[in-house]
Structure 1
Amino acid sequence: MARTTQATPPSTRVGTRVGYGTLLRTPGAWTFLVPAFAARLPFAMLSLGIVLLVVDTTGSYGLAGAVAAGAAVAQAAVGPQTGRLADRHGQAAVLLPMIVVHGFAVAVLIALALGHAPVWTLFAAAVPAGASVPQIGAMVRARWLHVLRDQPSAGLSTAFAFESVTDEFTFVIGPVLATTLGTIVAPAAGLVAEAALTVVGGLAFALQRRSAPPVRAASRARRASALAHPGVRLLAGSLLGVGSVFGALQVSITAAAEAAGRPGMGGVVYGLFACGSMCAGVVFGMVSWRRSPQRRMLASYTLLVLGCSTLWAMPSLTALALAGLCCGLAIAPTLISAYTLVEALVDAGAKTEAFTWLTGAIGLGLAVGSTVAGQVIDRHGPTGGLLVPLAGSALGLAALVSWRGLLAPRAAAGRRVAGAVPGSAASVLEPAGLR
């Protein structure tokens, strides 16, 4: 029998901790989690793979960052629209054509770069490659909403924590894999692996239709975008800063490793940054938090800014790796809190779209961060590039602090938010607790 907020007081239900073991025993979970991992691993490989390939063929970090940014901007612009289409028409109907386009676009980009084609053609290929990146992370979160629709909100919180840990694990494995293949096998090998994983993992994920959210008639009729909610806009804007940290660090760490005479270590150093986030995410998901997601996000975002403030001063690659590891500890808690908050702000028919707006914002911030860092590195070296994460995260925190009142759910305390899934975080969060 489905649980409701009337049957159990919100305070009791929010305080109940659901462990990872219980979560992973959810019927049908592994059938979509395994292919989803393979399909989302390329998300952490595409930008770095482009940087490695373009740097090798042109020698310019600025151009490499700009081409990677072109792909990231396209992903940020198109991703939310694909999320909206998935809400209306189903995930498989959107995934299948995107997978085909992505594989073809990446193949064209590789051929153009290796053939030393004009610079504009690299951008022409990178844009469709980025635009066609499948939004697997958002779709997996939407599936958790579906399979946990009758479970306590603590289960959903644990699921979001698990997904953030999985995201960070891909950023541990992905950069190492892309760098290793790109430096040891061939400059294009990282992108070849990225395209292959996208196609194989994406197809396998799309075929798992039993766990996919149903297409609702109300979703098809919906006209308003999830971005119409000011709280969603604030969260997306603040995550631009998080994305700038990702993008600037990818380029800056690659340049720092090259300057230190150890180019193959770039992926390892960036992987340690992601490893810090992954470890923090594991712990974060195991705690029964009493403070609101808004307060948790403000605290973790503040720690992120403090961590970024040390990166530029590190005297060696080893010191940079350790500083990056510490800085990464704030990433997963920030993202988990953001996804928890956005789930409470939008109706059931717009969940996937809302998640993709956050993912797209991170991608757009990554684009800006990699572009700015690449230009700064060409002029002032890796140390200058490491100031970009500090600037981007500081701007994101300023926006979050200034307009944090927009993150209060739209229902009174103890009442369900309109359109929320029964038993979800949206049905139990109290506005007073977010102020």
Structure 2
Amino acid sequence: MASTVATDNRPGYGQLLRTPGVWTFLLPGFAARQPFAMLTIGIVLLVQHTTGSYGSAGAVAAFTGVSMALFAPQSGKLADRFGQRAVLLPGVLVHTASVAALTALALADAPLWALFAAAVPTGASVPQVGPMVRARWAAKLDGSPLMSTAAAFESVTDEFTFVVGPVLATALCTGVHPAAGLIAEAALTLAGGLLFAAQRATQPAVRAAASASQPHVSALSVPGVRVLAIAFLGIGSVFGGMQVSLTAFTEEIGNPGANGLLYGVFAAGNMLAGIACGAIAWKTGPRRRLILGYAALTLAASTLWAVNSVALLAVLGLLVGLCIAPALITGYTLVESLVPATARTEAFTWLTGAVALGQAAAVTVAGRLADGHGASAGFVVPLVGTALALTTMVALRSRLSPKPAGRIAARGVGHRVPVTVD
């Protein structure tokens, strides 16, 4: 991917974070988005401990992920229509209660169907804080050249949660109690979600009801959003496949404590690449950048199944992580040019839900493969998921182009110039 390090005087992270009022939602938002990174691995570790099966653990986590993927866009629609606070307050309470029920049932050796039943409301009620934070940035910076800087910053923050969250959950589950990861997840949801909901001054204005002259446009009706959702499904397959397969791998070698370290290295790669993406002025257009970056991700994921060394797996995991952030950042940035402002929260939740759905499918398949054929077989899942998504994106790449009236693309950090869509 052709690029050049930016040297011109344009808005950067420092200027972005000096925007008045942003810290009031950034800090509680960071705490409240941790559950998304902790939930799947917390469920896998607890249910595998109580059942002895990665397949069962993956299936329960999959029910949670599918439920989240189905309900997240509805949460985004409701937030656009009634306000974020109205959606968050009941949501965090339901989620906390659902996680408590799921934890109690798992510890009581309840049948698998009971765990599935508890997993549905657990996933459906996951607070969509990441999309809500992005919507607050969009409302505060509407039309500002800082908007693409905010997109990069949010992706870095997301990746940082995937450094902190899984490592924290794994450390709690392996060092304190198998249920400690989920208990911490529920506590962070409750505290962070309520604090974030209390920041009413920065939440986007509630949109007026659609009229005949200005009908509501569903984000999923935009062809480019559907293509991006497929791309994010593939990214979810990497997250889910890595979580289960790394857990199985470290169990196989008799060093389960290394799981958190390995996943942390993988997630650190995401974060570092996200920081770098925010400091580069790209010469290539976002569509081409997304496809080339995704091709690199697929290539990196293709090597995981053949590795049987902790050190080498850490190196390859870092490489895979470095390839994820550019795809995420570019995908989220494309939403700004593809989707009307009235549907952006919904669009962001469709993409977040796609990650959850891909993760759900991946933990199920990888869990079954790990049970039947060992951890190496589970690492095939990220390869297959990314390869299928890449093939689809290449075939449908024309749908990722903004309409002609808006042929302005983000170039680097906060720099917007006319570019080609390729």
Equivalent residue for 1:78?
A: 71
From 325, 331, 334, the counterpart of 2:318:
325
Determine the structure 1 residue equivalent to 2:420: 433
Q: Residue 7 of structure 1 corresponds to which residue in structure 2?
A: none
Map of 2:181 onto structure 1: 190
Q: Among 36, 46, 64, which residue is 2:39 paired with? A: 46
What one-letter code is carried by the residue in structure 2 that aligns with 1:17? R
Shift of residue 411 of structure 1?
3.2
CA distance in 2, matches of 1:60, 1:361: 26
Task: Give the match for residue 12 of structure 1.
Answer: none
Relative to structure 1, is the Cα distance of residues 192 and 296 closer, same or farther in structure 2, using a 3 angstrom cutoff? same
Where 1:288 maps in the other structure, the secondary structure is strand
Whether the 8 Å CA contact 2:337–2:406 is kept in 1: the answer is no
> Residue deviations 1:219-252, cap 9 Å, x none?
6985442101111101001211110010011000
CA 1:252–1:123 in 2, change beyond 3 Å: closer, same or farther? Answer: same
Residue aligning to 2:281: 288
For 1:75, give the aligned amino acid: M
The secondary structure found in structure 2 opposite 1:133 is: coil
Given candidates 196, 199, 207, the residue that maps to 1:205 is: 196
Alpha-carbon spacing, 1:148–1:16, altered in 2? closer, same or farther (3 Å): farther
- 1:407 correspondence with 2:422: no
Q: Is the 8 A contact 1:23 1:159 kept in 2?
A: yes
User: What is the letter of the counterpart of residue 201 of structure 2?
Assistant: R
Q: Which deviates more, 394-403 or 223-232? A: 223-232
Q: Is the 8 A contact 1:158 1:286 kept in 2?
A: no
The corresponding residue for 2:161 is 170
1:4 is aligned to none
Aligned twin of 2:96 = 103
Contact 1:16 1:288 in 2 (8 A): no
Amino acid at match of 1:199: L
- Deviation of 1:412 after TM superposition, in Å, equals 2.9
Residues in 2 aligned to 1:413 and 1:90: alpha-carbon distance in whole angstroms = 28
Alignment coverage as a number of residue pairs:
411
TM-score with structure 2 setting the length: 0.94
- Match in the other structure for 2:257: 264
Does the 8 Å CA contact 1:165/1:282 hold for their aligned counterparts?
Answer: yes
Q: CA deviation at 1:429?
A: 7.7
Partner amino acid, structure 2, of 1:189: A
Q: How much has 1:318 moved relative to structure 2?
A: 2.0
Residues 285, 419 of structure 2: 8 Å contact kept: no
Q: Does residue 282 of structure 2 align to residue 299 of structure 1?
A: no
Aligned AA for 1:252? Answer: S
Residues 58-110 of structure 1 deviation map (CA, whole Å, 9 limit, x = unaligned): 00000000100100000000001100110011000000010010000000001
Residues 16 and 410 of structure 1: CA distance in aligned 2, closer, same or farther (over 3 Å): farther
SS of corresponding position for 1:107: helix
1:158 aligns with 2:145: no
* CA distances 1:292-324 after superposition (whole Å, capped 9, x unpaired): 111111111111001101111112122111110
Question: Which one is further off, 367-376 or 286-295?
Answer: 286-295
Secondary structure of 2:302's aligned partner: helix
Residue of structure 1 in register with 2:225 after alignment? 232
Q: CA RMSD, aligned part only?
A: 2.0
* 1:22-41 equivalence runs, <5 A: 22-41=15-34
Partner residue in 1 for 2:243: 250
Unaligned runs of 5+ in 1: 1-14, 417-422
- Where 2:404 maps in the other structure, the secondary structure is coil
Listed as ranges, the gaps of 5+ residues in structure 2 are: 1-7
Q: Secondary structure at 1:26's aligned position in 2?
A: coil
Q: Distance between the aligned counterparts of 2:280 and 2:222, measured in 1?
A: 29
Q: Which amino acid aligns with 2:77?
A: R
CA distance in 2, matches of 1:350, 1:324: 35
TM-score where L is the length of structure 1: 0.91
Post-superposition Cα deviations, 1:11-62, rounded to whole Å, max 9, x if no partner, equal xxxx873211111101111110000000001111000000000000000000
Does the 8 Å contact 2:217/2:343 carry over to 1? no
Distance 1:223 1:267 in 2: 44
1:361-414 Cα offsets, whole Å, 9 max, x none, are 010000011111001111100000011110100011111111000011123366
Aligned counterparts of 2:112 and 2:311: Cα–Cα separation in 1: 35
SS of residue paired to 1:54 = helix
1:379 maps to 372
- Structure 2 residue identity aligned to 1:38: A
Native 8 Å contact 1:65 1:374 kept in 2 = yes
Alpha-carbon contact 2:411-2:417 (below 8 Å) kept:
no
Residue 178 and residue 219 in structure 1: after superposition, are their counterparts in 2 closer, same or farther (change >3 A)?
farther
- Aligned mates of 1:192, 1:407 — CA distance in 2: 41
- Which residue of the other structure, out of 105, 124, 130, is the alignment partner of 1:112? 105
